Amino acid sequence: MKIKLLMAGLLGLVSATTFAQKGELNTAKSEYEKYEGLRGTPLAKASLTTARTSIDKAAANEKTATLPLTYALKGAIYSTYANQDTVAATSLPLFTAAEEALKKAKELDTKGENKQLIETGNLNLAQYQLTKGVAEYGSGKYDLAYKSFDYYRTILPEDTNAIYYTGLSAANSKNYPAAISNYTKLVTTKFSKVQGVYLDLSSVYLLNADTANALKAVTEGVAKFPNNAELRKREIEISLQTGKEKEVLEKIQTALAADPKNKTLYYYAGLTYSQTAEALGRDQAKAKDAATKAKLQASKVENYNKAAEMYKKALEIDPNYFEANLNLGYVIINPAIDDYNAANKLPANKQKEYDAAIAKAKAQFEAAKPYLLKAADLNPKSVDALTNLRTYYLGVKDDANATKIKAQLDAIK
């Protein structure tokens, strides 16, 4: 009988010990729940401290250490502490412990009884990495920021901010494939800044030397947001780079119909004609017979004239538009240079033709002068503006001013 009583006493002791440890687990759970309810109040800290003390005891006891609830609570509590600790040296061990506990909790919780706790813990981990990524990005550590934001995105794969931050940091760290992947995902969402993402995506494709997909991306953006001037301009820029002058002119006309007061669109129309003229000039230089050269020259001048019309329309909207002044001066003076050079190649017995050609060239030089001067005035450090202006002075044989501009150019270079 005494033996039975003794055994009963031992069993009672074991049961009491097990209950005590489960009691710690229950305390940890109830105190963490209380903390969640009191979050933001002075009483919350005391509940979180009690929850941590209890979960540490439960995790140290072999009877409760391997329970899914223990791991889930530890992950939630420790991840909360990690977020509250602003010192990396002490917060990172808390984050690591929470991460390991949550991973184990998910593995063991086959019935999903602790799903909410695990999700809470993982959201805390995501917040930790978000905060860490913002600090790293602000310090210019884009490669580290990318890893932090990507961790955040992995936990919240449909969060548009998570996708955006990951793509942005990837682009800045020159991880172009990762940037493209995230931006491509983002443009399929309802992200508030999706129009800008199309621009970013096209930029990353260009940085990755993929003009075909850059054009494809921005064209898709224009189709979705036809009134976005920045997307229109980007589409035009890339189209010009890929030699699609006819296609881009059609796009510009469509854009101008929607936005007839857009000076930049007129500028790009002028640029398209300018580049077409330049291409004709290169073909002309390669041509063998005089007839072909003459035909190409006529087409080149025609395109320069069309470019001038577009630049003038841009200047009607904004007379101080530097690029339009610069390019307008150039497209007017370029045919003048051709006439001037052609005149000087005439034989001595062609005096009449020479005089006519020089007079024509001089008139064109003078027509270009106001725009050349305006461009140099708007940007006195522009090598292009000063070079064009010097060309004018050389063309009208104003050696004094040509020498003066040469000195300005030398000072810049």
Q: pLDDT tens for residues 190-242?
A: 999 999 999 999 999 999 999 999 999 999 998 899 878 788 888 888 887 88
In tens, the pLDDT along 110-132 reads 999 999 999 999 999 999 999 99
Model pTM greater than 0.85?
Answer: no
- Asked whether residue 8 carries a pLDDT value surpassing 70, the answer given is no
* Range 323-337 average pLDDT: 93
243 DSSP 8-state letter: T
Res 333: pLDDT: 92
- Asked whether residue 10 carries a pLDDT value surpassing 90, the answer given is no
In tens, the pLDDT along 132-142 reads 999 999 999 99
Res 115: pLDDT: 93
- Angle formed by the axes of helices 68-84 and 2-38, to 10°? 40
Lowest mean pLDDT of 171-175, 230-234, 327-331, name the range: 230-234
Distance of CA 208 to the CA centre of its chain: 13
The per-residue pLDDT of the chain, averaged, comes to 89
- Asked whether residue 355 carries a pLDDT value surpassing 70, the answer given is yes
CA–CA gap between residue 349 and residue 251 (Å, rounded): 50
120 HSE (CA, 13 A, CB side): 18
Q: Are 52 and 77 in contact (CB under 8 A)?
A: yes
Res 132: pLDDT: 95
For 274-304, what is the HEC assignment?
Answer: HHHHHHHHHHHHHCCCHHHHHHHHHHHHHHH
User: 36 — phi, psi (to 5°)?
Assistant: -60, -40
Q: What is the dihedral of CA 11, 16, 22, 27, to 10 degrees?
A: 180
CA–CA gap between residue 242 and residue 163 (Å, rounded): 30
- Asked whether residue 71 carries a pLDDT value surpassing 90, the answer given is yes
Res 20: pLDDT: 52
The domain ranges of the chain are: 22-36+43-139, 261-413
Q: How confident is the model at residue 9 (pLDDT cuts 50, 70, 90)?
A: very low
* Range 356-365 average pLDDT: 87
Please give the angle made by the CA atoms of 111, 117 and 119, to the nearest 5 degrees. Answer: 90
CA–CA gap between residue 143 and residue 145 (Å, rounded): 5
Res 21: pLDDT: 54
CA end-to-end span of the chain: 109
Q: How confident is the model at residue 3 (pLDDT cuts 50, 70, 90)?
A: very low
pLDDT: is 10 or 69 the higher one? 69
User: Coil, helix or strand for 41?
Assistant: coil
Q: Where are the alpha helices (DSSP H) in 157-262?
A: 160-172, 176-186, 194-207, 211-224, 229-241, 245-258
Two tokens, residue 299: 């087409």
Q: Are 325 and 375 in contact (CB under 8 A)?
A: yes
The CATH architecture that domain 261-413 belongs to is: Alpha Horseshoe (1.25)
Q: Are 271 and 307 in contact (CB under 8 A)?
A: yes
- Asked whether residue 312 carries a pLDDT value surpassing 90, the answer given is yes
- Asked whether residue 247 carries a pLDDT value surpassing 70, the answer given is yes
Q: Of the spans 155-159, 349-353, 357-361, which averages the highest pLDDT? A: 155-159
CA–CA gap between residue 394 and residue 411 (Å, rounded): 19
Res 1: pLDDT: 44
- Asked whether residue 58 carries a pLDDT value surpassing 70, the answer given is yes
Res 15: pLDDT: 44
Cβ–Cβ contacts within 10 Å for residue 26, how many?
A: 14
